[in-house]
Chains A and B, each alone.
Chain A
């Protein structure tokens, strides 16, 4: 699996993501600065976590209007895999690649802790080789992770099995509607999620549960 990570001023989880992708895919990972207008050839494009542009205006809002984004939209339209984690999820909603918005946590606090996630749908390339219903531990670190969308869109997401991950066991850290932690696009090739699976991929992290998501994409590419 060839992958590329897009970098913005204020990204800070890019190195974790690159390390995780390198370890899992066994291939070097391309990086793309946000001022570029073309993407390198890759199977998976990743928008990493962090605080792009200091979260000015709204989290992810300015990054979502950067020069590289039209190329990312084209890649998504062509069915390439696009993953946005944390700030990357905020960018995907701001860019219109995923519906809804991520608002200030209901508690108003920045949360940095582990939550329990349930894999609630295996309808996408990211989850098709994951175990449906499995509850796993995953770290979160964000201030704006409170997923909101209108009732009609929510119904659509639920009805189409596009809620990939939900906070489980009462661990919703931010007040997200329906405990939503991650959603996919209609075609299933774009995933946005607040938790950080890239931080659960080696023994030193205390668990390997995050690997399944990346391995699922690899298995789909191999199939």
Chain B
């Protein structure tokens, strides 16, 4: 089974990389981009288990490694 974890910076945490990307889009001529926050996506392939078990397992992975919960939020999607 497959799952996707999306890790994003928490509100209030500065994202200088997002700002630089926003500036670069502006210089390419894209107008009206009012904000960009850079994040990470992890695509997981897991041996079969129940959806509930998969969510619990992935949540533990996020808490222990995939996200730094001091600065990041995560969301889990079973595909």
Contact = CB atoms under 8 A, between A and B. Distances in A.
Given A57-B65, A61-B65, A101 B16 contact: no
Given A148-B71, A149-B70, A104 B65 contact: no
A222 to B, nearest CB: 37
Count class of interface residues, chain B: 10 to 19
A103 B71 contact: yes
A69 B42 CA distance: 25
A220 interface: no
Contacts, number: 35
A101 B65 CA distance: 14
Contacts of B66: 57
Given A100-B70, A101-B70, A101-B71, A106 B16 contact: yes
Measured as residues with beta carbon below 8 angstroms from the partner, the interface class of chain A is 20 to 34
Interface in B1-19: 13-14, 16-17
Contacts of B65: 57, 61, 65
A120 to B, nearest CB: 22
Contacts of A28: none
B56 interface: no
Interface of A: 57-58, 61, 65, 93-94, 99-101, 103-108, 146, 148-150, 175
